[in-house]
Chains A and B, each alone.
Chain A
Amino acid sequence: MAAEREPPPLGDARQPDLEELEDGEDLFTSTVSTLESSPSSPEPASLPAEDISTNSNGPKPAEIILEDDREDLFAEATEEVSLDSPEREPILSPEPTPAITPVTPTTLVAPRMESKSIAAPVIFDRSREEIEEEANGDVFDIEINVSDPEKVGDGMNAYMAYRVTTKTALPMFNKNEFSVKRRFSDFLGLHSKLATKYMHVGYIVPPAPEKSIVGMTKVKVGKEDSSSTEFVEKRRAALERYLQRTVKHPTLLQDPDLRQFLESSELPRAVNTQALSGAGILRMVNKAADAVNKMTIKMNESDAWFEEKQQQFENLDQQLRKLHASVEALVCHRKELSANTAAFAKSAAMLGNSEDHTALSRALSQLAEVEEKIDQLHQEQAFADFYMFSELLGDYIRLIAAVKGVFDHRMKCWQKWQDAQVTLQKKREAEAKLQLANKPDKLQQAKDEIKEWETKVQQGERDFEQISKTIRKEVGRFERERVRDFKTVIVKYLESLVQTQQQLIKYWEAFLPEAKAIA
């Protein structure tokens, strides 16, 4: 009678690539078994790196992976991976350059992931310690946590207090573990002090998190919704990152103000950090003046390195901003996707309810459940997208502003030196004139002034050289830090992506038999 008819599926150009993956399941399990059985060999597999650069836009993953000797490729890859710590040493030792321990907890390596949680702080600590051991002997046994945001007070005078906990074995501190309560303006005050002391001699002082009048007002007013909770959490994490960056700096770590911030139970309130205070306005005026000055200083750059670096940082700044905007868009769209998936799940459940064929009805309800779970995944992924990626980019955009600031200080330093030279020249000319005019008492004064300015010129030159030297070191440090930070975050981020994939597989695997059971 009436034929079975349904809208034909759109031909999917990608399908042929995936047909080879009929035994995809086997690939996964075979990976696991190779991992468990292969002994770790010290030789890293020399595998071609060609695929990276050529396939920047939409590589066909199936083509890359599904080769006849894929089993061997996996085996080679797994040789580099350590499952248990005893096997780690052989990987590290043969390398002349200190090899970095693969920052892979065992939970990542085994494709079957039971628990969802990655021990994030553990990764960070382990990598930081080991890496810092290898790089320039910068070992700082100090760990900072910012936690327990607590609302203090009511109304517009309310504020959030955060607990700052320090764990350290460094002798400069009185205790090994201690904690204090600090509010946001305290952090700003700390930064302000450090910046005043160190920026003008070339040290890159990590910037504090940004103020947010809107965000804080909501919290003050007592809006207990998810957006203000998010805001507080975002701020807490940002403050923690700020302190961690600051204590990593060898010079700043020695600073007494920093120590006081971490240790003292009572801290004088930093009032000059308020945006609309007198000091705040003065800051804005100074910034404007600086900007004008910058435009008029035409520095005779004798050192190509500085010119090059400045250009690089300009480019980096632009690129990071663009990337940051894209990541923020991703976070937003992911949230939308999550909402739409949830809505569809509900709709599918309703459809399942009204469907009068039992097996189909059940399958539709199952589909609804799968979609609900996937929605949950999307939410978690959005969280990861945001906290891992977007915030890091934001931090670096601000850091680069600090770097640019330091370069500007060097320019000012140069200007000062030049001005001193000009003044010295003027003084010498004045002295020469006095000599001709034969005024002995004024002559002595002139000679003294010349001496004074000669000293100033020498000092100016020394300062300039010093700041140049410091900046070179600082930029080197910054670049290393940047690589480390990005590597850590990207590793974490990729782990989150892998986890999401694992979960997706589980969910669809559970659903498939239900769909097939429709009779």
Chain B
Amino acid sequence: AEACASPGMQEGLDDGPDFLSEEDRGLRAINVDLQTDAALQVDISDALSERDKVKFTVHTKSSLPNFKQNEFSVVRQHEEFIWLHDSFVENEDYAGYIIPPAPPRPDFDASREKLQKLGEGEGSMTKEEFTKMKQELEAEYLAIFKKTVAMHEVFLCRVAAHPILRKDLNFHVFLEYNQDLSVRGKNKKEKLEDFFKNMVKSADGVIVSGVKDVDDFFEHERTFLVEYHNRVKDASAKSDKMTRSHKNVADDYNRIGSSLYTLGTQDSTEIFQLYCHIPLFYFSQQKIEARVSADEDLKLSDLLKYYLRESQAAKDLLYRRSRSLVDYENANKALDKARAKNKDVLQAETTQQLCCQKFEKISESAKQELIDFKTRRVAAFRKNLVELAELELKHAKVTGIYFCFHFRQLLFHRIIEVGLEGTL
């Protein structure tokens, strides 16, 4: 499938690389463990970036009777994903599950700004410099674009893989209904309401977490998640900084390489020209090195950020369980009071029973969810760390061999051929 990202400059990336290559797809399939699940397969087959929104083509393949066809596609925007996510969160029946975290909003502002600035400064640089920078910025834009598509896809795949959530009616509507879902983004008032809701939740969270859990498993999980969440946040921020530094170093190497090239071409001394080419190679290679490192840092950052969101979702689950425990305890107290006063006892009993059931249901599914979360997390980190090491190693070797090889080649071949007698 072709991706069309139009960053707003004259030539879009319509002829750009096919970003949803087989490679990417294959990797995703492995990650999801859905390969054999013919019952429901969801992916984002295409995406289009317009002025201020991204349109995702959500493609579904399903053998389930719930759908009219076996294979179909619809176009969705980011707000509709959020609507779906929020509907899960607000659904009491799903209180006992880790709700897959919502994908982050597509943010091309920074990239677009850079491209615009480049366009404005076109007159002040050479054609080569301009073309090169433009290519780099376009590549950056494309990378961000790919990432946002991936994040949205991951969300859908997680839902599709979840035995309960995949049956959700809203989810089916999301997948199948080929009209606009008309879920406008939240207006100011609604955003403010959300803000207060979250504040209350965190205040609650403080109160509720003060109570030591009877169940060791949950007690441990709570302690673990709170600390883990904070540390993942820190690690991802630091990884981002590393990425930026690597990029800066890469850019410096690039500039040095260009300067050396100019120096070499302008200099009359033939020999000096030759010597400029040697460092030139190395700086080009160093630039590539630094870029690869930046990419790897970024992947690590992405992984960490994703688990930041997931660990938050897990914390939310714990919170919901705690809330239901509090409700259960309150119901117990109310029942005791009712019995003491011998008033509304039946009602109090019913309430207490409901609370008890709810609490137990949540606890049971929460336990499984948290165990699965750990399994997923460990597997994801393993994969990423192995990949990181392998790629860094590969590149270091390529660079090392490249250096050694060219070093000997150029240095000795050139020196012996030309000699240092001087050209005067």
Residues of chain B from 340 to 389 with CB closer than 8 A to chain A in the complex: 368-369, 372-389
In the complex, the answer to whether B259 meets A3 with C-beta atoms within 8 Å is: no
Q: Are A11 and B400 in contact (CB under 8 A)?
A: no
Task: Please give, as numbers and ranges, the residues of chain A lying within 8 Å of B275 by CB-CB distance.
Answer: 483, 486-487, 490
Q: Are B245's CB and A52's CB within 8 A?
A: no
- Listed stretches A24-32, A222-230, A276-284, A431-439; interface member: A24-32
Interface string of B395-406 (1 = CB under 8 A from A): 111111111110
Asked if B413 contacts A47 (CB within 8 A), the reply is: yes
Find chain B residues with CB under 8 A from A250 CB: none
Question: Any chain A CB within 8 A of the CB of B422?
Answer: yes
The stretch among A96-104, A153-161, A182-190 that forms the contact with chain B is: A96-104
For B397, what are the chain A residues with a Cβ–Cβ distance below 8 Å?
Answer: 21, 24-25, 27-28, 505
User: Which chain A residue shows the least CB distance to B246?
Assistant: A337
Tell me if B400 and A505 are in contact (CB < 8 A): yes
Cα–Cα, bound, A351→B252 (Å): 32
What's the minimum C-beta distance from B167 to chain A, rounded to whole angstroms?
14
Within 8 A of A (CB), among B252-291: 252-263, 266-269, 271-272, 275, 277-282, 284-288
Question: What are the residues of chain A within 8 A of B252 when measuring CB–CB?
Answer: 326, 329-330, 333
Cross-chain contact A7 with B413 (CB below 8 angstroms): no
Is A334 positioned at the interface, with any CB of B under 8 Å from its CB? yes
B302 to chain A, nearest CB (A): 5
Interface-forming stretch among B155-163, B205-213, B319-327? Answer: B155-163
12 contacting pairs across A/B (C-beta < 8 A):
A2-B158, A3-B34, A5-B100, A5-B157, A7-B303, A18-B395, A81-B408, A322-B259, A336-B245, A360-B377, A360-B378, A501-B396
What A residues does B280 contact at CB under 8 A? 52, 56
Task: Give Cα A257 to B345, complex, Å.
Answer: 112
- Interface residue? B338 (CB, 8 A): no
| Interchain CA distance A4-B245 in the complex, whole Å | 32
**Contact between chains at A5 and B395 (CB < 8 Å):** no
Considering the chains assembled together, what is the distance between the CA atoms of A493 and B282 in angstroms?
10
Partner of A56 from the list B28, B245, B261 (CB cut-off 8 Å) is B261
B400 engages A498 (CB within 8 Å): yes
Q: Which of A20-47 contact B (CB under 8 A)?
A: 21, 24-25, 27-28, 31, 44-45, 47
Question: In the complex, A27 Cα to B401 Cα: how many Å?
Answer: 8
B415 at the interface (CB under 8 A from A): yes
Partner of B32, one of A5, A44, A91, A134: A5
A55 contacts B284, CB within 8 Å? yes
Residues in B neighbouring A86, C-beta threshold 8 A: none
- Among listed B55-63, B65-73, B143-151, interface-contacting one: B143-151
Answer whether residue B126 sits at the interface, using C-beta atoms and an 8 A cutoff.
Answer: no
B9 in the interface (beta carbon within 8 A): no
Chain A residues within an 8 Å CB radius of B400: 28, 111, 498, 501-502, 504-505
> A12-B391, A336-B245 given. 13 additional CB < 8 A pairs?
A2-B161, A2-B369, A4-B31, A4-B33, A10-B150, A61-B398, A77-B412, A102-B411, A135-B421, A353-B231, A479-B424, A487-B275, A501-B399
B19 beta carbon closer than 8 Å to chain A: yes
For window 124-166 of B, CB contacts with A under 8 Å fall at 128, 132, 143, 146-147, 150-151, 153-154, 157-158, 161-163
Q: Which residues of A contact B (CB under 8 A)?
A: 1-15, 18, 21, 24-25, 27-28, 31, 44-45, 47, 49, 52-53, 55-59, 61-62, 64-65, 73-74, 77-78, 80-81, 91, 95, 97-100, 102, 104, 108-109, 111, 131, 134-135, 312, 315-316, 319-320, 322-323, 326-327, 329-330, 333-334, 336-337, 340-341, 343-344, 346-348, 350-351, 353-357, 359-360, 363-364, 367, 475-476, 479-480, 482-484, 486-487, 490-491, 493-494, 497-498, 501-502, 504-505, 508-509, 511-512, 515-516, 518
Contact B402 A65 (CB under 8 A): yes
Please tell me if the beta carbons of A100 and B415 are within 8 angstroms of each other in the complex: yes
Interface centre among B27, B286, B374, B400 (most CB of A within 10 A): B400
Docked-complex contact B306 and A6, CB < 8 angstroms: yes
| Chain B residues touching A, range | 35 or more
Interface of B is mostly: helix
Q: Measured between alpha carbons, how far is A57 from B261 in the docked complex, in Å? A: 9
Chain A residue nearest in CB terms to B252: A330
Q: Max chain B CB contacts within 10 Å: which of A7, A323, A343?
A: A7
Shortest distance in angstroms between B408's beta carbon and chain A's nearest beta carbon? 5
**Residue from the list A3, A10, A12, A102 in contact with B415, Cβ < 8 A:** A102
**Docked-complex contact B288 and A58, CB < 8 angstroms:** yes
A341 contacts which chain B residues (CB < 8 A)?
Answer: 242, 245
Q: Is the CB of B421 within 8 A of A354?
A: no
If A6-B379, A65-B405 touch, whether A99 touches B287 (CB-CB below 8 Å) is no
Bound-complex Cα distance A107 to B421 (A): 28
User: Inside 8 A of B238's CB, which chain A residues have their CB?
Assistant: 340, 343-344, 346-347
Contact digits for B413-424, partner A, Cβ 8 Å, 1 yes 0 no: 101110111111
Complex CA–CA separation, A94 to B170 (angstroms) = 84
Instruction: Say yes or no for B114: interface residue by CB 8 A criterion.
Output: no
Residues of B within 8 A of A (CB): 17, 19, 21, 23-24, 27-28, 31-34, 98, 100, 128, 132, 143, 146-147, 150-151, 153-154, 157-158, 161-163, 220, 224, 227-228, 231-232, 234-235, 237-239, 241-242, 244-246, 248-249, 252-263, 266-269, 271-272, 275, 277-282, 284-288, 292, 295, 298-299, 302-303, 306, 368-369, 372-405, 407-413, 415-417, 419-424
B333 to chain A, nearest CB (A): 35
Complex Cα distance A511/B409, Å? Answer: 32
A64 partner residues in chain B, CB cutoff 8 A: 402
CB-CB nearest in chain B for A49: B413
CA distance A80 to B411 in the complex (A): 10
Q: Which residues of A contact B242 (CB under 8 A)?
A: 337, 340-341, 344
- For A336, the chain B residues whose CB sits under 8 A away are 245, 248
**B118 to chain A: closest CB distance in Å?**
17
Residue of A nearest to B268 (CB): A312
Q: Which of B284, B287, B383, B401 contacts A28 (CB 8 A)?
A: B401
* B119 CB → nearest A CB, Å: 21
A357-B379 CB under 8 A given contacts A61-B402, A320-B263, A350-B231? no
- In Å, the complex CA distance between A515 and B383 comes to 8
Please judge, given known A-B contacts A4-B33, A18-B394, A505-B397, whether A52 and B410 are in contact too, CB under 8 Å: yes
Q: Is the CB of B292 within 8 A of A14?
A: yes
With both chains docked as a complex, state the minimum distance between the C-beta of B415 and any C-beta of chain A, in angstroms. 5
Q: Which residues of A contact B163 (CB under 8 A)?
A: 1
- Is the pair B28, A333 in contact by a Cβ cutoff of 8 Å? no
> What distance in Å separates the Cβ of A435 from its nearest Cβ neighbour in chain B?
51
Check B381–A337 contact: CB distance below 8 A: no
Q: Provide the residues of chain A in CB contact with B380, threshold 8 Å.
A: 4-7
Residues of A within 8 A of B286 (CB): 497
- CB-nearest residue of chain A relative to B150? A8
Query: For the complex, what is the distance from the CA of A356 to the CA of B232, rounded to whole Å?
Result: 13
Q: How far is the CA of A303 from the CA of B49 in the complex (A)?
A: 64
- Chain A residues near B376: list those with CB within 8 A: 2-6
A351→B227 CA distance, assembly (Å): 9
State how many angstroms separate the Cβ of B282 from the closest Cβ of chain A.
Answer: 6
Residues of A near B386 (CB, < 8 A) are 512, 515-516
A59 engages B285 (CB within 8 Å): yes
A497–B391 Cα gap in the complex (Å)?
Answer: 19
Q: Is the CB of B401 within 8 A of A31?
A: yes
A57 to B255, CA, bound (A): 10
Looking at the complex, which one of A3, A21, A322, A354 makes contact with B231 (CB distance below 8 Å)?
A: A354
> Given B157, B259, B306, which contacts A323 in the complex, CB threshold below 8 Å?
B259
* Chain B CB within 10 Å, residue with most, of A57, A104, A109: A57
